[in-house]
């Protein structure tokens, strides 16, 4: 086959960090045709052209046309334009998607089809918004991965948490700065906000825009719009140095009135991170460029910027990681100073100043460890012979590195076993790349990868139940053993800590008061759990152990129709019914008439999986998700499974909200589904920015069903695995946790329900069924943590056959027995009781039912409304008794209002129960359906 002549041209693309060379080669005709439709994709906005005459590279001006020439026949193949901000954001989104894909594909499949990790342990992801800021011994400010801000405060009795979130319109927070008693917060968009008191003495966040004095800087207009990337408070606590997104260094020297200065950037480089702010010498700042070079800024010297160069033979190609370092004094003498930094390959290095001379010292890292952050500790220097640094690794462990003082010995071998491992808390790992915070001598606080906090402390000196100690005059021994205490964080991070309260008591936001005994002599104050408790409620699931060779979980017949046959749309006015033959009907109250409205679709539907903002999400017989929504042109269908990264699904969340309570709308709202291959799928629906995400499944089980989605705990989805164990998925961190569960307790794979008496308290319960048909409760309270409670069955010989209903009045739920009757589980004066509500029968029960009723006098209740019973008697003559069976089917019931619940009967009709007072519920009506042969009188129409 003839070949085209070789085409020779080279594109060179330079950025700050890398060089990309694209070289063309000879092409075959079919190859040329195959690639001729390709379009040039621009990812940077700086390009160079090689001039043969001058033998130099010259930067081209944009826009610039790309031309391809073959045999002197030149054609335009593309153009290079100045990148807009929107294009840059699209490129960043695409990179994030690629990162997610790479993380999902970071496991290799062996011959048996199992996924195995390439390394021994899994490298943790880099979180984006985590920070710790110390205001005082009694106040620590935290930004979580969710972008929320909260303060951990000692009120004199216990540690409490106070929320300080930015306004919704400000976006996520990534850091808090405290300077001269002023509190500033940095948003993810690079905007500063100041915490001020409003006219009604309430704290509010006000935008704090950098403005540079034109007399001191010519770039004032440009710098005033500079988005800020990060910042560091100076060592004396009176100034803040910021690094901007365009790589400049700016300084806030005064807050009231604001005084800003733009120090620019190093010649030919940028400021990617601030390593030290005036800790070695006053007003001297050390920065790191994006390519890993160390610079020093001193406004009093000429030139202001100086570059610290690696000496030959020190190391080959050492490149510093753009992160904050730490400074120690006195390692080589009273006037020596050392700046400790990390390299991009995770090694610890030191830039030491002694007798006015600088030198580099390489300390390395523990074997097979990649260091990601440095936390210095402060001791009584006069009593200590060594200093310590605490460093986190990419695997989530913590190491301590001890350095001797005044010995002049610089190598890591100066102290035997200089590196000592503190590992990490049980079933939790330290967050990658974020330094900790020293609370006091012997007490350090670290963020965890799962969104919680952990305190590393000496025995007896710390923990969640220990407040700030008095000054401890104890000389720390090198052999002292630290211990970990895990600290709960707020619900914004998917955890259980409650916010403080304004009421008098131990959780008061300002000053706590110990609870006093009440009239009965008991003390209502809740005891806090100790962090050293033996039993771990949360068991971390390692992705490295995840395998694809798990046995496939086979769903029972009619799984979808049993659990997603009915769905409430508008409380008291509308709900949906999906028939066995795939028809979709809506029972609607309009113009004082109840009628059935048919929603036709080309493929049969199997179930209604969820609702959001007036739209209904259904699954068809092929596992595709469709959205039924109202538009300008009327009702329409949207195929959600046609979108990118969609999967075939078989289940969804059991409930969409609590009847009578408005749902909080956020910019991260999503629905969760269970895929046919047992994975948890997240479908973002907020602001109609539809997007699928594969949340995978726990390492040792497939996802069988969703117990609860964010009703019991914000940002958390509870699921039951195919092995009958309970797991949770954290939407913020993307982590799976297994809950502690007795080996003898195996859960049914049916969905569950949640109850939470108050949104102000994290106390509540999840209710599920056990594999043997009993009711099981998983309860949380602040004092005792998680506890399993088995409620059993209502009667001997009766098992529960379907998922629990939602809770009513916070203490009543309905279940369906194998005998076709409805049972209510309710609490009466702190005691759980069963109540038999039977089924909506006509006249006297037959002999068999009478015998069954007589077996249980304790639970025997009358749940028939007199008017309803009379109407049943009247309509009985219209019944086709051969096709009528008033017993309740094993279909999951749905709420219809705050005091109403809908059941399906075995003959296809529906029946409604209403609460008339307290725990008194009665059958109020039966509803004929288009599929029931028992009663044929119903109104129907077709939705357009």
Could you please report the per-residue DSSP string of 767-826? EEEBTTS-EEEEEEETTTEEEEEEEE-SSTT--B-SPPPPPBTTTEEEEEBTTS-EEEEE
CA dihedral 264, 266, 270, 272 (to 10 degrees): -90
DSSP 3-state of 51: strand
Contact criterion met (CB below 8 Å) for 115 and 106: no
DSSP 3-state of 650: strand
Residue 630 DSSP code: E
Backbone angles phi, psi at 53, to 5 degrees: -65, -45
Sorted by sequence, the CB contacts under 8 Å of residue 222 that are 6+ apart come out as none
Output the six-digit token pair for 682.
């997240």
**Strands of 920-927's sheet in order across:** 894-897, 900-904, 910-917, 920-927
Contact criterion met (CB below 8 Å) for 613 and 664: no
Output the six-digit token pair for 474.
């104890």
What gap in Å lies between CA 894 and CA 577, rounded to an integer?
11
pLDDT under 70: residue ranges of the chain: 1-44, 53-55, 70-73, 83-120, 213-225, 312-317, 379-384, 406-416, 470-480, 516-535, 542-553, 659-660, 842-862, 864-881, 935-941, 944
Output the six-digit token pair for 375.
């936390």
What gap in Å lies between CA 335 and CA 725, rounded to an integer?
60
Output the six-digit token pair for 427.
């079933």
Beta strands 593-598; 940-942: pairing state: parallel
Return the residue matching tokens 């500033």.
184
Of the candidates 777, 778, 780, the residue with the CA atom closest to the CA atom of residue 800: 777
Beta strands 670-675; 680-684: pairing state: antiparallel
Output the six-digit token pair for 297.
């800024």
- Per-residue pLDDT of 268-309, as tens digits, reads 999 999 999 999 988 899 999 999 999 999 999 999 999 999
Class of residue 568 by CB neighbours under 10 A (exposed 0-12, middle 13-18, buried 19+): buried
DSSP 3-state of 881: helix
Sign of the alpha-carbon dihedral angle for 602, 604, 610, 614: positive
User: How many residues in total does the chain contain?
Assistant: 944
For 302, other C-beta atoms within 10 Å of its C-beta total 6
Q: What is the CA radius of gyration of the chain?
A: 33
Spell out the SS3 assignment of 416-444: CCCEEEEECCCCCCECCCCCCEEEECCEE
Beta strands 538-540; 483-487: pairing state: unpaired
As beta bridge partners, residue 150 has 142, 163
Residue 543 DSSP code: G
Helix (H) or strand (E) holding 103: helix 85-104
Contact criterion met (CB below 8 Å) for 380 and 386: no
What gap in Å lies between CA 861 and CA 847, rounded to an integer?
18
For residues 241-259, one letter each, b for 16 or more C-beta atoms within 10 angstroms of the residue's C-beta and e for the rest, the string is bbbbeebbbbbbeebeeee
The beta strand positions in 571-624, using DSSP E, are 574-578, 584-590, 593-598, 605-612, 615-620
Query: How far, in whole angstroms, is CA 776 from its chain's centroid?
Result: 27
Of the candidates 68, 62, 53, the residue with the CA atom closest to the CA atom of residue 10: 68
Q: Quick one: what percent of the chain has pLDDT higher than 90?
A: 57
Of the candidates 535, 533, 529, the residue with the CA atom closest to the CA atom of residue 483: 533
Sorted by sequence, the CB contacts under 8 Å of residue 220 that are 6+ apart come out as 211, 212, 213, 214, 262
DSSP 3-state of 126: coil
DSSP 3-state of 508: strand
Contact criterion met (CB below 8 Å) for 887 and 842: no
For the chain, the domains span 10-83, 86-117
- What is the structure's pLDDT at 941? 66
Backbone angles phi, psi at 895, to 5 degrees: -80, 150
What gap in Å lies between CA 89 and CA 127, rounded to an integer?
19
DSSP 3-state of 225: coil
Residue 258 DSSP code: T
Output the six-digit token pair for 56.
């130099």
For 64, other C-beta atoms within 10 Å of its C-beta total 13
What gap in Å lies between CA 414 and CA 592, rounded to an integer?
88
Contact criterion met (CB below 8 Å) for 444 and 456: yes
Backbone angles phi, psi at 97, to 5 degrees: -65, -40
Of the candidates 323, 329, 313, 327, the residue with the CA atom closest to the CA atom of residue 346: 323
Contact criterion met (CB below 8 Å) for 896 and 904: no
What gap in Å lies between CA 209 and CA 212, rounded to an integer?
10
- What is the structure's pLDDT at 85? 47
Output the six-digit token pair for 308.
């610290």
CA atoms within 13 A on the CB side of 219: 15
pTM: 0.83
Backbone angles phi, psi at 582, to 5 degrees: 90, 10
- What is the structure's pLDDT at 39? 56
């Amino acid at each position: 086959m003839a070949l085209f002549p070789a085409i020779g041209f080279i594109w060179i693309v330079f950025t700050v960090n890398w060089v990309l060379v694209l070289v063309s080669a000879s092409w075959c005709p079919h190859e040329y045709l195959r690639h001729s439709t390709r379009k040039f994709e621009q990812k940077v906005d700086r390009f160079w052209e090689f001039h043969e005459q001058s033998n130099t590279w010259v930067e081209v001006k944009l826009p610039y046309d790309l031309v391809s020439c073959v045999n002197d026949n030149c054609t335009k193949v593309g153009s290079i334009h100045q990148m807009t901000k929107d294009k840059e954001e699209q490129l960043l989104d695409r990179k994030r998607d690629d990162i997610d894909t790479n993380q999902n594909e970071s496991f290799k499949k062996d011959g048996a089809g199992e996924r195995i990790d390439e390394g021994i342990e899994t490298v943790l992801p880099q979180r984006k918004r985590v920070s710790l800021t110390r205001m005082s011994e009694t106040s620590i400010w935290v930004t979580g991965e969710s972008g929320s801000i909260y303060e951990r405060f000692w009120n004199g009795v216990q540690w409490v948490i106070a929320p300080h979130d930015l306004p919704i319109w400000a976006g996520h927070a990534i850091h808090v700065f405290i300077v001269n008693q002023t509190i500033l917060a940095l948003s993810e968009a690079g905007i500063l906000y100041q915490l001020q008191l409003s006219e009604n003495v309430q704290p509010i966040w006000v935008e704090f825009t950098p403005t540079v004095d034109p007399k001191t800087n010519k770039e004032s207009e440009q710098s005033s719009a500079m988005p800020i990337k990060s910042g560091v408070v100076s060592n004396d606590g009176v100034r803040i140095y910021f690094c901007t997104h365009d790589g400049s260094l700016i300084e806030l020297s005064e807050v009231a009135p604001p005084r800003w200065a733009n120090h620019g950037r190093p010649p030919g480089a940028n400021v990617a991170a601030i390593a030290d702010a005036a800790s070695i010498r006053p007003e001297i700042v050390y920065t790191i460029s994006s390519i890993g070079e160390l610079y020093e800024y001193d406004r009093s010297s000429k030139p202001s910027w100086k570059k610290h160069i690696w000496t030959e033979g020190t190391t080959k190609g050492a490149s510093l990681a753009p992160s904050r370092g730490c400074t120690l004094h006195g390692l080589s003498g009273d006037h020596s100073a050392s700046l400790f930094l990390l390299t991009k390959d995770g090694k610890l290095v030191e830039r030491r100043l002694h007798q006015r001379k600088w030198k580099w010292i390489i300390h390395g890292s523990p074997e097979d460890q990649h260091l990601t952050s440095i936390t210095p500790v402060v001791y009584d220097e006069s009593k200590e012979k060594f200093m310590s640094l605490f460093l986190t690794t990419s695997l989530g462990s913590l190491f301590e590195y001890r350095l001797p003082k005044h010995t002049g010995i610089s190598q890591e071998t100066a102290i035997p076993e200089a590196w000592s491992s503190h590992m990490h808390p049980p079933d939790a790992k330290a967050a990658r790349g974020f330094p900790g915070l020293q609370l006091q001598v012997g007490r350090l606080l670290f963020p965890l990868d799962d969104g919680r906090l952990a305190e590393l402390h000496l025995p007896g000196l710390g923990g969640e139940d220990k407040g700030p100690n008095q000054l401890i005059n104890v000389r720390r021994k090198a052999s002292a053993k630290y211990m970990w205490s895990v600290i709960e964080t707020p619900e914004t991070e998917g955890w259980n800590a409650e916010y403080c309260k304004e009421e008098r008591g131990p959780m008061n936001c300002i000053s706590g008061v110990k609870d006093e005994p009440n009239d009965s002599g008991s003390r209502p104050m809740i005891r806090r759990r100790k962090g050293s408790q033996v039993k771990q409620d949360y068991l971390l699931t390692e992705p490295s152990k995840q395998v694809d060779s798990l046995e496939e979980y086979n769903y029972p017949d009619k799984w979808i129709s049993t659990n997603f046959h009915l769905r409430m749309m508008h409380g008291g006015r509308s709900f949906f019914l999906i028939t066995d033959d795939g028809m979709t009907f809506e029972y609607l109250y309009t113009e004082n008439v109840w009628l059935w409205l048919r929603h036709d679709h080309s493929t049969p539907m199997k179930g209604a999986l969820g609702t959001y903002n007036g739209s209904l999400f259904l699954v068809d017989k092929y596992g595709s998700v469709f959205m039924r929504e109202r538009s300008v042109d009327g009702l329409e269908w949207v195929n959600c499974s046609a979108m990118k990264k969609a999967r075939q699904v078989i289940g969804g969340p059991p409930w969409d909200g609590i009847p009578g309570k408005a749902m909080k709308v956020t910019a991260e709202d999503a629905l969760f589904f269970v895929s046919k291959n047992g994975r948890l799928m997240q479908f973002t629906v907020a602001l109609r920015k539809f997007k699928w995400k594969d949340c995978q499944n726990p390492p040792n089980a497939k996802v069988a069903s969703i117990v609860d989605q964010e009703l019991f705990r914000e940002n958390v989805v509870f699921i039951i695995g195919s092995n009958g164990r309970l797991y949770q998925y954290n939407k913020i961190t993307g982590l799976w946790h297994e809950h502690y569960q007795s080996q003898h307790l195996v859960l049914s794979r049916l969905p569950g329900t949640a109850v939470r008496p108050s949104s102000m308290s994290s106390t509540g319960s999840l209710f599920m069924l056990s594999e043997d048909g009993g009711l099981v409760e998983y309860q949380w309270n602040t004092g005792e943590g998680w506890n399993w409670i088995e409620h059993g069955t209502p009667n001997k010989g009766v098992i529960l056959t379907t998922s629990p209903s939602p809770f009513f009045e916070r203490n009543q739920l309905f279940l369906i027995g194998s005998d076709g009757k409805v049972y209510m589980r309710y609490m009466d004066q702190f005691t759980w009781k069963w109540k038999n509500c039977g089924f909506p029968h006509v006249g006297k029960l037959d002999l068999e039912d009478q015998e069954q009723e007589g077996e249980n006098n304790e639970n025997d209740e009358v749940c028939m409304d007199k008017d309803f019973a009379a109407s049943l008697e009247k309509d009985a003559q219209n019944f086709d008794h051969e096709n009528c069976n008033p017993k309740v089917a094993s279909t999951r019931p749905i709420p219809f209002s705050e005091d109403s619940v809908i059941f399906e009967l075995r003959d296809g009709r529906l029946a409604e129960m209403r609460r008339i007072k307290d725990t008194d519920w009665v059958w109020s009506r039966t509803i004929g359906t288009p599929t029931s042969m028992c009663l044929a009188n119903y109104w129907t129409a077709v939705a357009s």
